[in-house]
Structure 1
Amino acid sequence: MLVLRDLVDLVLPVTCALCHRPGARLCRTCRGEVRACLSVDVTRCRPDPEPAGMPSCWVAGAATGALRALVTAYKDEDRRDLAGALGALLAPALRRAAAGPEARAALVGRGLLVVPVLGSPRARRRRGDVPLVSVVQAASRALPGRVVVAPVLVPTRVTRDQSRLGAQARADNLAHSMAVPERREPTVRGSVCVVVDDLVTTGATLTEAARALTDAGAAGVVAAAIGATPRRFGGGSRPIS
C-alpha cells in the first residue's frame, strides 16, 4: 500500500540534495563527498580563540564542502527529508558528549537533557520552523537511558546577523541574548544538558547557550555539533583537534 511519502515521490521525484540527480536524497557520489568531511572518530572542537566559558564540544567532522552544503540544503533549501541523515551524522558526537567525564560526573541518578540552540528570530520567521529540533530528535534516539529533547532556550533581545562578524564581535553580539523561561527552569535545574548546534564557527552560540542553562540551574553542560569550521581570526587559526 502506498504511504504518504510514496505519493509525494510520485508527484515530486526524489533528487539528490547536493547534485540534484534523480533517484536518491543523497546519491552515492555525494555521500562519498560528505564522508570525506567526517573525522575518523568524533573529535573535540576547540575554536581559536576559544571563548571563555565554552562547554566541551564534540563534532563529527569539518563543516566544509559537502557537509556544509548538506546542512544548508536541509535548513534553507526546503530539504526537511534530510533530518534522519543529519541526525545519523550528529549521533556519534552526541553520544561522545554524553559519555564524557563532565556529563558522567553529574549524571548520577538523573536523565539527560538535550537542548537545541536557538536560530535567530529572523531565521525562524523565514523558515517557519526550527530545523535543528528534528535533527536532534533523530540523533537522540541513538542515546541509551532516559533522554529528553528540550528546546528550553528563548531569545531575550534582538541580535545582529552573525555571518560577517569576527570572534569577539560574535561573542559581544550574543552575550546575554538567551535565557530559560522561569516556567521551564524546573526542567533544567539539576539536569545534565547537552547543548546542540548544527555547525560551530567561533563557539559564541554554544557559550551563550551554556551560560543561560547554567544560570537556570543545570548541573553540567557539554555540547555536540555535526561539524566545526576552521576559521582565522586575529592572525591565529586552529583546526578541529
Structure 2
Amino acid sequence: MTSLSDSRTGRFAAALRAAAQEALSFWLPIACAGCGALDVPLCPACRAQLAARPSTRRLPGGEAVLCALPFSGVVARCVRALKEEGRTGLARDLAPALAAVLTAVPPTVLVTTVPTRAAAFRRRGFVVVELLVRRAGRRPVRVLRLRRVPRDQRGLDREERRRNLAGALVARGVRGRAVVVVDDVVTTGATLAEAMRALRAAGAGPVRAVALAHTPSRRGSGGEQQMIPT
C-alpha cells in the first residue's frame, strides 16, 4: 500500500519519464516489444501471441490460480518491457488476456491486487498489476498492505519465498466480501498464497486468485527460477 506522498512522488516521476520517453522517441526508432521490428510498438504477429491461453496452476497450499498466459517468449518480453522500460502502452495489449480470465467475475465481487513495494512504485510511477486490471475493465480496490517489507524474492526457491512472505500482508475492509486477488506473474505462487491467507484472516470469503501469466514449471527444481522484474 502506497502513501499519499509516495503517490505524488510517483506521479511526478511518471510525468518525467513520459517526457523523457517522448524526447527519446524523436531520436530513437520505436521497436516492437516482442520481436524488435522497427517502427511499431507491437507488431501484429507478436500481438497475436498475447491471445489468452487460460490454465490453472496450484499455489503452495494447493489452491488454484487461474492464469491467462504462459510467461515465456513474446509474453515475457512484453511484460518485462512494461515493468522495466515503463512502456505502459503495452498494458492495453496485455489486458485482453487478463480480461478473459476475469470475465466470469461478477461486478459485486471485490477485485484487489497484491501490493507493490514503495521502492518499486517510486521507480516506475505506477503499479503494474493495478494498471493491467484497469485496462482489463475492472476497478481494483486496495485492501491489502504490507505489514513488513520482505526481502527481494528474486533468486529464492519455493520454500525460501514462502518463509520470506509468511505474515507479510494484512487486509482490511473485506469481512463478508467475496474477493478476487490479482497478480501479474506467478512464479512459485507464494505471494498470492500469502495474499489469500491475509484476506481470509480479515474475514473475506470466498477468495479466489487470478494472474496475467505464470512461469513454466520446472519439476524437481524446487520452484521456477526465471528472473522477473519486481
TM-score surpassing 0.5? yes
Specify the alignment match of 1:173 in structure 2: 164
Q: Quote the RMSD (CA, aligned, Å).
A: 2.7
CA distance in 1, matches of 2:185, 2:221: 22
Q: Structure 1 pair 235/154, CA: closer, same or farther in 2 (3 Å)?
A: closer
Q: Which SS does the other structure have where 1:149 is aligned?
A: coil
Whether 1:76 and 2:67 are equivalent positions in the alignment is no
Q: Which amino acid aligns with 1:205?
A: T
Specify the alignment match of 1:118 in structure 2: 115
- What is the total number of aligned residue pairs between the two structures? 201
Q: Structure 1 pair 15/86, CA: closer, same or farther in 2 (3 Å)?
A: same
Q: How does 1:199-238 map to 2 (within 5 A)?
A: 199-232=185-218, 234-235=220-221
Q: Structure 1 pair 85/205, CA: closer, same or farther in 2 (3 Å)?
A: same
C-alpha displacement at 1:234, in angstroms?
A: 4.4
Specify the alignment match of 2:129 in structure 1: 132
CA distance in 1, matches of 2:113, 2:139: 11
TM-score, scaled to structure 1: 0.73
CA distance in 1, matches of 2:72, 2:221: 20
Q: Which amino acid aligns with 2:198?
A: A
**Equivalent pair of 1:55/1:206 in contact (CA under 8 Å):** no
Q: Percent identity at matched positions?
A: 38
**Greater than 6 Å deviation, 4+ residue runs:** none
Q: Which amino acid aligns with 2:56?
A: R
Whether 1:198 and 2:184 are equivalent positions in the alignment is yes
CA distance in 1, matches of 2:165, 2:69: 25
Q: How does 1:48-87 map to 2 (within 5 A)?
A: 50-52=59-61, 55-87=63-95
Q: Which SS does the other structure have where 1:45 is aligned?
A: strand
**Equivalent pair of 1:167/1:233 in contact (CA under 8 Å):** no
Whether 1:16 and 2:32 are equivalent positions in the alignment is yes
CA distance in 2, matches of 1:94, 1:64: 21
**Equivalent pair of 2:32/2:41 in contact (CA under 8 Å):** yes
C-alpha displacement at 1:125, in angstroms?
A: 2.9
C-alpha displacement at 1:230, in angstroms?
A: 2.2
Mean alpha-carbon deviation: is it higher for 119-128 or for 58-67? 119-128
C-alpha displacement at 1:233, in angstroms?
A: 6.1
C-alpha displacement at 1:33, in angstroms?
A: 4.3
Q: Which amino acid aligns with 1:63?
A: F
Whether 1:31 and 2:47 are equivalent positions in the alignment is yes
**Equivalent pair of 2:178/2:205 in contact (CA under 8 Å):** yes
Whether 1:45 and 2:45 are equivalent positions in the alignment is no
Q: Which SS does the other structure have where 1:222 is aligned?
A: strand
CA distance in 1, matches of 2:190, 2:178: 20
String of CA shifts for 1:177-218, please: whole Å, max 9, x gaps: 1112xxxx33x2221111101111111010011111111221
C-alpha displacement at 1:44, in angstroms?
A: 1.2
Specify the alignment match of 2:227 in structure 1: none
Whether 1:163 and 2:154 are equivalent positions in the alignment is yes
Q: Which amino acid aligns with 1:168?
A: E
CA distance in 2, matches of 1:167, 1:150: 28
CA distance in 1, matches of 2:130, 2:65: 18
C-alpha displacement at 1:172, in angstroms?
A: 0.4
Mean alpha-carbon deviation: is it higher for 56-65 or for 72-81? 56-65
String of CA shifts for 1:158-182, please: whole Å, max 9, x gaps: 21111101101000001111112xx
C-alpha displacement at 1:127, in angstroms?
A: 1.7
String of CA shifts for 1:66-116, please: whole Å, max 9, x gaps: 1111111111111011121121111112225x3xxxxxxxx7xx8111111
CA distance in 2, matches of 1:67, 1:171: 26
Q: Which SS does the other structure have where 1:76 is aligned?
A: helix
